[in-house]
Amino acid sequence: MTYIEEYYNFLLDNPEKACHKVLTVYKKLVEDIKNPKQVSFFNKITESNETHTFIFNEKRGNKPIEFIERFCKHSKGKWAGRPVELELFQKAFIQALFGFIDKDTGIRKYKKGALFIGRKNGKSTMDSGLANYMLTKDGEGGAEVYSVATKKDQAKVVWDECKRMIKKSPALNKRIRCLVGGIFYDETESFLKALASDSNSLDGLNAHFVVADEVHAWKDKNLLDVMYDSMSAREQPMLLETSTMGTIRESVFDNEYEYFSEIIKGYEGLSDIVDETVLPVIYELDSPDEWQDERKWYKANPGLGTIKKIKDLRDKVNRAKNNPNELLNLLCKDFNIRQNGQDKWLSYEIANNEAVYEMKDIQDTYAVAGVDLSSTTDLTCATILIFKNGIKYVLQQYFIAEANLQKKIQDDKIPYDIWEKKGLVTLCEGAKINYTDVTEWFNRMHNDYEISAMYVGYDPWNSQYWVEEMKAYGYNMIEIRQGAKTMSNPMKELYADLSEKKVNYNNNPILKWCLTNTSVKRDENDNIRPVKGHQQRARIDGTVSLIIAYCVLAEKYTDYMNLMEE
């Protein structure tokens, strides 16, 4: 029996230890072993579709496992100097990553692996063992192996562990040279180096294997793209992403996490995303509420009780029960639940809602609205809010000065250009926001979808011309000042609605980003208002616009509900 099948059977026999995503992935892998199927790929070089049949070769899948357990030694703690013994979950992952090959060519199927897992579950040990294997025993001449991160110190974590493993192993130490600038295997003229985005040059790389560690801390996707592109000349390269969860939202990690999650959904027929070059394994709690149920801790910590001490985790959980300030870090790092920084208004779990709707679901109705205007650096956001059947449907449009688009992409590290192509952002001609574009959007929603914004809230700052223009089109304009006295109760109402998933914002990534960026400032009467957190480039305009709409709904609730009942 393969390790993949053995681990899948273990998950089936222990359902409380199996998170849904991991169970789904291994079910698919077992099916692929038993019933090899043809897979279509688009070849960028020939610009044509190619069909390949991938089979499972157990011997190929076991080679890196046997190498690690035979030659790699632990370097720290009570295990220092002893051979590495991989856990079943590690063996299953490695065997799958290396064991599926093209029936005709023998080339590996997977070019990218992703392992997202709670901390202290042997991630760095596995990364380092695989890096040493790819340096010496993958049969690649002149192999270039890289441990990468955005900072050199982080990139050297895996690199240093590789070096310590080699020093502890007489067989490896005799054949591999460990120098200050790199680790060298002269037999095949191969090397292993640490590399960061602040390195002198990323040009001319010809990577065979890349370990991208702690991706949750990366703010710039360029390094990941450069490293993946650097593998294009190799016959069977591999990039391995490993990470715990983090607190940096709508950046590299979120993009990767969402993409991998969609691939997994595709295995169940719940997504159109198909990518057979990627093996994504994501260990996490299926619900944040499970953090107090010890039986469920294994979902995010498959090494619990062997690699990771269960007593240490019990102590952390008990402290978090009595000290909420420790809960965020516990959920994020030990249970792999995405979080924001501690100064934020909402946890990611509260802000996140993946429910969607179609325009036909909200057309031909009355609405209230809120607008947060800006001039140049911030976003302008217009929000339409429709309350029906107990759900508050949110429709938003964002506006950016076209002349500032590239600078905003560079400064904010946010894909405004991609969002513009998806129709979520309107580019205003010139270097300033054209408020007439905002008016035209409201008119378009009315003319095309018969959504009538009966009351439109706005902050009076710099809005006189636009307010008069909107009034000329017949909109009832409501002045909403952005202070704690005005916004506190609507903001608390929004918090409750988000917590109960009563706000369907069509999974709009910009609003999700704005919500998770929002912090609060309290006055002496415990009234709150939205403010930016420590990162001043983290925009909150979508949140403010939505809160203004909530203010309007609170002020005009009776009139609005009477209209909805007509």
| Per-residue pLDDT tens digits for 382-406 | 999 999 999 999 999 999 998 888 8
Whether residue 220 is predicted with pLDDT greater than 80 in this model: the reply is no
Whether residue 359 is predicted with pLDDT greater than 80 in this model: the reply is yes
Query: Do both 254 and 403 map to the same domain?
Result: no
Single-letter code of the amino acid located at 28 = K
Q: Specify the pLDDT at position 249.
A: 64
Whether residue 86 is predicted with pLDDT greater than 60 in this model: the reply is yes
In angstroms, the Cα distances linking 230 to 225, 233, 278, 296 are: 8, 7, 17, 40
Q: Of 123-132, 336-345, 405-414, 481-490, which one has max mean pLDDT? A: 123-132
pTM above the 0.85 mark? no
The total of other beta-carbon atoms located within 10 Å of residue 201's CB is: 7
Instruction: Give the residue-averaged pLDDT of 493-509.
Output: 95
Confidence of residue 84 (pLDDT cuts 50, 70, 90): very high
Residue at 484 is within a domain: yes
CA distance 418 to 410: 13
- Point out the domain boundary residue: 220, 254, 282: 282
187, 176 contact by CB (below 8 A): no
Q: Specify the pLDDT at position 198.
A: 62
- Point out the domain boundary residue: 255, 282, 309: 282
Q: Specify the pLDDT at position 201.
A: 62
Residue at 200 is within a domain: yes
Residue at 517 is within a domain: yes
Q: Specify the pLDDT at position 120.
A: 92
End-to-end CA distance of the chain: 66
Q: Specify the pLDDT at position 44.
A: 58
| Full residue range of the structural domain in which residue 180 is found | 3-282
Whether residue 247 is predicted with pLDDT greater than 80 in this model: the reply is no
Query: Do both 409 and 554 map to the same domain?
Result: yes
Confidence of residue 246 (pLDDT cuts 50, 70, 90): confident
State how beta strands 391-401 and 425-428 pair.
parallel
Q: Specify the pLDDT at position 221.
A: 78
| Structural domains in the chain (count) | 2
Q: Specify the pLDDT at position 50.
A: 80
Whether residue 155 is predicted with pLDDT greater than 90 in this model: the reply is no
CA distance 168 to 165: 5
343, 519 contact by CB (below 8 A): yes
Confidence of residue 278 (pLDDT cuts 50, 70, 90): very high
Query: Do both 78 and 220 map to the same domain?
Result: yes
38-79: pLDDT as tens digits: 887 766 556 667 888 999 999 999 999 999 999 998 877 777
If residue 403 lies in a helix (H) or strand (E), which one and from where to where? Answer: none
- In our burial notation (b when 16+ CB lie closer than 10 A, e otherwise), range 143-180 reads bbbbbbbbeeebbbbbbbbbbbbbebbeebeeebebee
Single-letter code of the amino acid located at 415 = P
Residue at 202 is within a domain: yes
Query: Do both 278 and 363 map to the same domain?
Result: no
Residue at 390 is within a domain: yes
Query: Do both 254 and 394 map to the same domain?
Result: no
Query: Do both 371 and 490 map to the same domain?
Result: yes
Q: Specify the pLDDT at position 325.
A: 58
CATH of the domain at 417: 3.30.420.240
Query: Do both 277 and 390 map to the same domain?
Result: no
Q: Specify the pLDDT at position 154.
A: 82
Whether residue 413 is predicted with pLDDT greater than 80 in this model: the reply is no
Query: Do both 276 and 405 map to the same domain?
Result: no
State how beta strands 144-149 and 190-196 pair.
parallel
- Point out the domain boundary residue: 259, 282, 305: 282
CA distance 510 to 371: 15
Whether residue 211 is predicted with pLDDT greater than 90 in this model: the reply is yes
Residue at 348 is within a domain: no
Instruction: Give the residue-averaged pLDDT of 205-223.
Output: 87
454-498: pLDDT as tens digits: 999 998 877 778 999 999 999 999 999 888 889 999 999 999 999
Query: Do both 218 and 361 map to the same domain?
Result: no
Residue at 84 is within a domain: yes
Q: Specify the pLDDT at position 341.
A: 59
Whether residue 342 is predicted with pLDDT greater than 60 in this model: the reply is no
CA distance 459 to 372: 7
Query: Do both 269 and 417 map to the same domain?
Result: no
Query: Do both 246 and 366 map to the same domain?
Result: no
CATH of the domain at 170: 3.40.50.300
The answer to which of 155-159, 175-179, 340-344, 480-484 has the lowest mean pLDDT is 340-344
Task: Output 521 or 510, whichever has higher pLDDT.
Answer: 510
Task: Output 263 or 249, whichever has higher pLDDT.
Answer: 263
Whether residue 150 is predicted with pLDDT greater than 70 in this model: the reply is yes
CA distance 464 to 476: 14
DSSP secondary structure code for residue 169 in this structure? -
In the three-class reduction of DSSP (H, G, I as helix; E, B as strand; rest coil), residue 294 is classed as: helix
The residues with which 366 forms a beta bridge, in sequence order, are 452
Cα 160 to the center of its chain, rounded Å: 27
Instruction: Give the residue-averaged pLDDT of 10-19.
Output: 96
- Average per-residue pLDDT for the chain: 90
Instruction: Give the residue-averaged pLDDT of 145-172.
Output: 90
Task: Output 219 or 351, whichever has higher pLDDT.
Answer: 351
Instruction: Give the residue-averaged pLDDT of 110-119.
Output: 96
- Could you tell me what percent of the chain has a pLDDT over 90? 67
Whether residue 251 is predicted with pLDDT greater than 80 in this model: the reply is no
Residue at 330 is within a domain: no
Query: Do both 90 and 227 map to the same domain?
Result: yes
